[in-house]
């Protein structure tokens, strides 16, 4: 049934913070008549009306009402070179004229695959798909085919896309997450099959002993440990060396594969996140930055495990395809973006990230307030906690902490900075010292305005 057109905004929707302009309000009015909830991605940030964007240039985004924002979201960390990166634009213009998708392979896919496999020795073979969700899904299917086992272990609170098994315990709460020693499998959506819940073993991040016990207990059914080395939504917390080596050792001991989900964290270094933290995965899931701003995903890893996708004139163990997989537009954009990601680019991002995290911590110490900062490389996250959290449970917000974070995000938006709320914020190569100064100053202003508030001491 067609929804009523132009239905009025509810009183809460009119109370948006900070106010969006009339064009965003009008767009949202139209959107609510065609999309359940008014948006077509649950991850869209809104308060409560989303801001509609008209275009982006470099580190900045412009909304349809003409306001300019420093973009610390970068489409959920995808745009490592910022918006409308000139080499990507030029390459895409040519590809657009040459055709956008064919049922045949192109040489571009070999070029991008060669570049990526050349970066990481553990990526001996690669296959392309269109999203990080698909990459994680196919990596898990390959692990199942390789081991002959159905289940996975994953970190509580971590986000790996929309495949049912990795959604388990993504949004656990104190009421549902169970004991520290034995985290519960918590459904993510109403109707999630109980068979899925029984095939997922949630682990607490950085709890080496607990993880070892759980993995050994369920080893006979485990195909893979799916690990994002620094899971953004679970806190963007650095892994302890002991946690990494415990997982690595128990996986080897029990013939369980390790899948490093680097859809987000591949941007952590020239060789990605596993290399940074000493993890040696069997398989990797990639996405985001390797597509240069166009949809992409990839599964990579040891040649023998990647053999699960090899048909060799018969049906492969795991058929993997897709109408738009390895489409030449994504391959072209990815190639142009990745060719520009040299050591100098990573050194630049690392320097900016270190500078920004230090600046935020200095401000917190100066104002003696209940905030902390986590992250690495070009990624950071601000927590409403006195001590940096060590796992998802410690990072979890109470209602008053959630209110503080909402205020922080609103303050940043009012000052012209888009700061993701509850996810990783990121830097991009077009940023420089001026952008770091701006973020530092705005955080300082927020702390100074909050310090005068009586509520402060209770945080
Ligand atoms: C770690 C991780 N894995 C998987 C995904 C899913 O990727 P996509 O949104 O491209 O499906 C994301 C997306 O944010 C992610 O951060």
In angstroms, the CA 260 to CA 226 distance is: 6
Q: Can you tell me which residue has the tokens 């702390």?
A: 447
List, edge to edge, every strand of the sheet that includes 60-63.
53-57, 60-63, 68-71, 417-418
| 257-261 and 222-227 strand pairing | parallel
Q: With a 6 A CB cut-off, is 132 part of the ligand 1 pocket?
A: yes
The whole-angstrom separation of Cα 80 and Cα 216 is 39
Q: Whose C-alpha lies nearest to ligand 1, atom 3?
A: 160
- 412 pairs with which residues across the strands? none
Ligand 1 within 6 A of 262 CB? no
- pLDDT for 450 equals 83
Separation of CA 293 from chain center: 14
C-alpha 341/C-alpha 344 separation (Å) is 8
**Whether pLDDT at 310 is above 60:** yes
Q: 233 CA distance to ligand 1 centroid (A)?
A: 11
Q: Which atom of ligand 1 is nearest to the CA of 288?
A: 10
Contact 239, 229 (CB under 8 A): yes
Is residue 15 predicted with pLDDT exceeding 70?
no
CB 426 within 8 A of CB 77: yes
Residue showing tokens 């809460």: 12
Model confidence band, residue 45 (pLDDT cutoffs 50, 70, 90): confident
- Would you state the structure tokens that stand for residue 415, as one six-digit string? 């000052």
In short, whether 137's Cβ falls inside 6 Å of ligand 1 is no
pLDDT, one tens digit per residue, over 258-299 is 999 999 999 999 999 999 999 999 999 999 999 999 999 999
| Per-residue pLDDT at 459 | 45
Which residue's CA is minimally distant from atom 16 of ligand 1? 264
Does ligand 1 lie within 6 Å of residue 424's CB atom?
no
| pLDDT for the residue numbered 455 | 52
The alpha carbon of 152 and the centre of ligand 1 are apart by a number of angstroms equal to 17
Burial group, residue 19, by CB count within 10 angstroms (0-12, 13-18, 19+): middle
Ligand 1 atom with the shortest distance to the CA of 287? 10
Tokens of 448: 């100074």
**How is residue 392 written in tokens?**
């998802």
User: What number is the average pLDDT over the span 167-174?
Assistant: 98
User: Mind listing the pLDDT tens digit for each residue in 56-87?
Assistant: 999 999 999 999 999 999 999 999 999 999 99
pLDDT tens readout for residues 391-440: 999 999 999 999 999 999 999 999 999 999 988 999 999 999 999 999 99
pLDDT of residue 453: 66
Beta-bridge partners for 125? 301
> Whole-angstrom Cα distance, residue 425 to residue 415?
16
> Alpha helix (H) ranges present in 120-260?
132-147, 164-167, 194-197, 208-218, 241-254
Q: Confirm or reject: Cβ of 131 under 6 Å from ligand 1.
A: yes
For residue 262, give the ligand 1 atom closest to its CA: 1
Q: Is 154 in the pocket of ligand 1 (CB under 6 A)?
A: no
Task: Tell me if the bond preceding 347 is cis, omega within 30° of 0.
Answer: no
| Nearest in space to 230 (alpha carbons), one of 427, 423, 428, 436 | 423
DSSP, collapsed to helix, strand or coil, labels residue 13 as helix
**Residue 30, both tokens:** 């139209």
Answer whether 261 contacts ligand 1 (Cβ < 6 A): yes
Task: Give 322: exposed, middle or buried? Use CB within 10 Å, 0-12, 13-18, 19+.
Answer: middle
- Cβ neighbours of residue 274 under 8 Å, at least 6 residues apart? 120, 122, 229, 260, 262, 280, 281, 284
| Range scoring the smallest mean pLDDT among 2-6, 56-60, 142-146, 328-332 | 2-6
pTM score of the predicted model:
0.95
Q: What are phi and psi of 438, to 5 degrees?
A: -60, -50
pLDDT digit string (tens) for 98-139?
999 999 999 999 999 999 999 999 999 999 999 999 999 999
Structure tokens at 370: 């209940």
The residue among 406, 411, 403 whose CA lies nearest residue 444 is: 411
Distance 136 CA to ligand 1 centre (A): 8
For ligand 1, say whether the CB of 264 is within 6 Å of any of its atoms: yes
Residue to substitute in 76, 236, 263 for testing ligand 1 pocket (most ligand atoms within 8 angstroms of CB) = 263
- Report which ligand 1 atom has the smallest distance to the Cα of 130: 10
The answer to whether the beta carbons of residues 80 and 289 sit under 8 Å apart is yes
């Amino acid at each position: 049934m067609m929804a009523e057109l132009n239905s009025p905004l509810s009183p809460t929707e009119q109370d948006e913070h900070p106010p969006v302009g009339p064009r965003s309000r009008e767009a949202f009015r139209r959107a609510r008549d065609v999309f359940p909830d008014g948006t077509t991605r649950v991850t869209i940030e809104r308060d409560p009306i989303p801001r509609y964007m008209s275009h982006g240039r470099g580190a900045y985004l412009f909304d349809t009402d003409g306001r300019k924002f420093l973009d610390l979201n970068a489409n959920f960390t995808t745009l490592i070179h910022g918006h409308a990166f000139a080499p990507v634009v030029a390459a895409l213009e040519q590809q657009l004229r040459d055709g956008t998708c064919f049922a045949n392979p192109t040489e571009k896919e070999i070029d991008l695959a060669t570049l990526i496999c050349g970066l990481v020795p553990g990526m001996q073979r690669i296959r392309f798909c269109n999203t990080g969700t698909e990459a994680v899904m196919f990596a898990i299917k390959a692990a199942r085919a390789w081991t002959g086992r159905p289940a996975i272990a994953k970190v509580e609170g971590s986000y790996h896309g929309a495949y049912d098994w990795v959604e388990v315990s993504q949004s656990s709460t104190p009421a549902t997450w169970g004991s520290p020693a034995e985290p519960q499998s918590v459904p993510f959506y109403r109707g999630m099959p109980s068979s899925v819940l029984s095939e997922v073993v949630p682990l607490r991040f950085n709890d080496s002993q607990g993880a070892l016990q759980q993995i050994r207990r369920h080893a006979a059914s485990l195909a893979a440990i799916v690990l994002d080395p620094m899971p953004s939504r679970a806190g963007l917390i650095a892994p302890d060396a002991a946690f990494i080596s415990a997982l690595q050792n128990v996986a080897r001991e029990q013939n369980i594969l390790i899948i490093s989900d680097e859809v987000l964290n591949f941007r952590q270094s020239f060789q990605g996140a596993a290399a940074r933290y000493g993890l040696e995965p069997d398989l990797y899931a990639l996405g985001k930055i390797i597509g240069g701003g166009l949809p992409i995903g990839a599964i990579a890893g040891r040649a023998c495990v990647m053999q699960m996708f090899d048909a060799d004139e018969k049906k492969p163990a795991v058929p993997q395809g897709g109408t738009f997989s390895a489409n030449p537009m994504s391959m072209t954009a990815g190639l142009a973006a990745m060719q520009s990601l040299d050591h100098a680019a990573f050194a630049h991002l690392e320097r900016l990230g270190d500078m920004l995290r230090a600046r935020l911590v200095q401000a917190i110490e100066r104002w003696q307030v209940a905030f902390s900062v986590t992250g690495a490389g070009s990624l950071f996250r601000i927590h409403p906690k006195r001590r940096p959290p060590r796992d998802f449970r410690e990072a979890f917000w109470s209602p008053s902490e959630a209110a503080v974070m909402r205020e922080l995000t609103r303050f940043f938006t009012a000052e012209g900075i888009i700061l993701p709320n509850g996810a990783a914020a990121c830097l991009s190569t077009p940023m420089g010292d001026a952008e770091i100064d701006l973020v530092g100053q705005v955080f300082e202003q927020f702390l100074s305005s909050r310090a005068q508030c009586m509520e402060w001491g209770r945080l």
